[in-house]
């Protein structure tokens, strides 16, 4: 009888001890929830990835994407690279050319159609607000804010660069397809605004 009472007291003591240990440790560990993602600030704006196109000029052939129409002024083997990037509602277009005629001024613009066998195949200049009169030579429409003018002057090695920045919305349009190099600087006077002489070369480009 005494032996049974001793065993019973021992069991009760063991259970009480285990309970105390569990209470002291706070019970079984609880899983930890992953930290919540922090929302972006309302004023934070994501910049779109830049679009870049490069090409080496050659005489026209089917499938060519960089074409020279005047090999003396834009020699075969010369090249152009054009980059378009949009940030905070503004678009910046930068062009770099290599191997053209040295120490020379060229006109250059974004055009509406892809390159073709002749310079005229590239169509008119891209215009954010289209002039209802064609060809567009009215300074109200043919200007560097409404069009993309990229005139440049080459150095002694025939290299040059130009940058234009504006509100052009290429991402919602389908009428900016090429970069055209012209024979002269771009004119601004009424009746001549936007003109820049012969079309010397054309590069199919993404904007």
Category of 63 on φ-ψ map: left (φ > 0), alpha (ψ -120 to 50) or beta: left
Tell me which fold the domain 54-124+145-185+197-204 belongs to.
Immunoglobulin-like (2.60.40)
Give percent of the chain above pLDDT 90: 73
Edge-to-edge strand order for the sheet containing 51-56?
51-56, 79-87, 90-98, 160-166
**Which has more pLDDT, 80 or 42?**
80
Tell me the pTM: 0.77
Per-domain boundaries in the chain? 54-124+145-185+197-204
pLDDT at 34 > cutoff 70: no
Residue partners of 5: CB distance under 8 A and separation at least 6: none
Q: Are 84 and 95 in contact (CB under 8 A)?
A: no
At 88, list the tokens. Answer: 């905070």
pLDDT at 63 > cutoff 60: yes
**Which has more pLDDT, 190 or 4?**
190
pLDDT of residue 47: 61
Average pLDDT (149-159) is: 98
Q: What is the dihedral of CA 135, 136, 137, 138, to 10 degrees?
A: 140
Q: Are 141 and 130 in contact (CB under 8 A)?
A: yes
Average pLDDT, the chain: 85
Name the 3-class secondary structure at 178.
Answer: strand
Q: Are 66 and 204 in contact (CB under 8 A)?
A: yes
> Where does the pLDDT of residue 89 fall: very low under 50, low under 70, confident under 90, or very high at 90 and above?
confident
């Amino acid at each position: 009888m005494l032996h049974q009472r001793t065993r019973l007291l021992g069991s009760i003591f063991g259970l009480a001890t285990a309970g105390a240990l569990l209470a002291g440790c706070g019970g079984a560990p609880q899983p930890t929830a992953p930290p919540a993602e922090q929302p972006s600030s309302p004023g934070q704006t994501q910049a779109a990835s830049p679009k870049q196109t490069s090409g080496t000029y050659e005489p026209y052939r089917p499938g060519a994407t960089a074409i020279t129409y005047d090999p003396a002024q834009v020699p075969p083997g010369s090249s152009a690279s054009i980059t378009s990037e949009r940030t905070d509602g503004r678009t910046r277009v930068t062009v770099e050319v290599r191997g053209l005629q040295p120490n020379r001024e060229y006109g250059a613009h974004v055009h509406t159609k892809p390159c073709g066998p002749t310079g005229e195949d590239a169509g008119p200049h891209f215009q954010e607000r289209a002039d209802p009169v064609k060809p567009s030579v009215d300074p109200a429409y043919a200007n560097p804010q409404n069009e993309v003018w990229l005139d440049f002057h080459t150095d002694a090695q025939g290299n040059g660069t130009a940058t234009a920045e504006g509100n052009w919305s290429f991402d919602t349009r389908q009428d900016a397809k090429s970069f055209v190099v012209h024979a002269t600087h771009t004119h601004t006077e009424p009746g001549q605004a936007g003109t820049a002489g012969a079309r010397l070369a054309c590069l199919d480009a993404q904007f």
